[in-house]
Chains A and B, each alone.
Chain A
């Protein structure tokens, strides 16, 4: 069945460092891909999405490109801030279901 695999966390970075969180997926169809973020004490929020191959989703300085050839959707940000500390979830939507990866915790230190 469909599945999403993310890199293990926690990821600890200094402020202004470059961020990459890896995400790969397995799907039988042509899914849409998403990154959700969960800030401490808050609900899940949609960060960005891409609906077809080679699409790039972007929001708040974060970017991810839908790579069909490598079945990947890696999240990147050029310069992280302390306020980016959160848990990040990669997800795919296929056949009416939204399926999540296990989440990656990001800690940004000043």
Chain B
């Protein structure tokens, strides 16, 4: 059974940093691109970042470029999101999602972890 479990969320002050993790199991993690998607309270889904299977290709939404860094450790079946210079508008539930490909979309999602940026 495919499982994605996020952790690392919490309350952080504006300008602070946080590192999210996503532990993957039930599939060959090193064969899939992975993504972070966020959802602000009461709002829609927003794609944040993606990383290819071997970390060769990394992309970011303009809203987080230069502040967030995506990475992965295939030996540990884990995905990460380092978030720096956090702003109030970064407050959201952050989901990790497995990408099946451009023609498949995001076929598995974690349960999400809440990040709250507030003084």
Partners in one complex: no
Residue numbers of A with Cβ under 8 A of B are: none
Residue numbers of B with Cβ under 8 A of A are: none
